[in-house]
Amino acid sequence: MSKIVFITGASSGFGKACAEKFACHGYDVIINGRREDKLLELKEHLEKKYNTAILVSVFDVRNRNEVFEAVKNIPGEWQHIDILINNAGLALGRDYFDEADIDDWDTMIDTNVKGLIYSTKALMPLIKKSSSPHIINLGSVARDVYEKGNVYCATKAAVDILSQSMRIDLLRHGIKVTAIHPGAAETEFSLVRFKGDEDSAKKIYDGLTPLTAEDVADVIYYCTTLPPHVCINDLVLTCTQQANAIYFNRK
């Protein structure tokens, strides 16, 4: 039986790169997102290139009813999940606390925290069916606070704590839990954060050779292919020019 990986937020960025990485190694992949057209395009590409099975599952991780309904309707042959990659997440705005948009805060909390909780909880019965279950949670170096990070940083600190809690609570089921904390990576992330302002998005990477989505996908894949008795609990990866959430050596 082929191993199955479920990836949230798979239509772009880390999620899309993970779908490509696992598909090329023969995994069957369930790809989730809100943009059905992007997911169908990715499905066609992966099936044609790697001759593996791809299932599209369209739902918004922020909507609890959508999440549970979508999981309930997963076809029987897909109802064991070996790896869950909780990738769906975003940053909106980079403003001082007193000047920030509360709607942005709500969206980040609903996506980065509640979305991760809903997806994991809904898929838990299917994860428990695996003989080698593994949950990957995408955090960020932003769990360490920087100026104008406020609620985004808080959501990534929450992912860190939730990962620790899952690791403890799911220990009795033999479920590995790995938290991946990337630094600066050039994806759609900054463009979304600055709401389409390309100039502001590009400035984030001035003087840097940042991580790529493929770099992060390679690390995630590595973590999931270790021997059964080995689990990487937490992993921070940055480009060479970045020390943490604050310090950079820009050229």
Active site residues: 152
Q: Where are the beta strands (DSSP E) in 4-163?
A: 4-7, 28-33, 54-58, 83-86, 134-138
Distances (CA, A) of 207 to 51, 90, 158, 220: 40, 23, 30, 26
**How far is Cα 14 from Cα 12, in angstroms, rounded to an integer?**
7
Contact 182, 136 (CB under 8 A): no
The side-by-side arrangement of strands in the sheet containing 134-138 is 54-58, 28-33, 4-7, 83-86, 134-138, 176-182, 234-237
The values of phi and psi at residue 191, to 5°, are -65, -40
* CB-based contacts of 166, cutoff 8 Å, min separation 6: 120, 135, 137, 175, 177
- State both tokens at 192: 């979304």
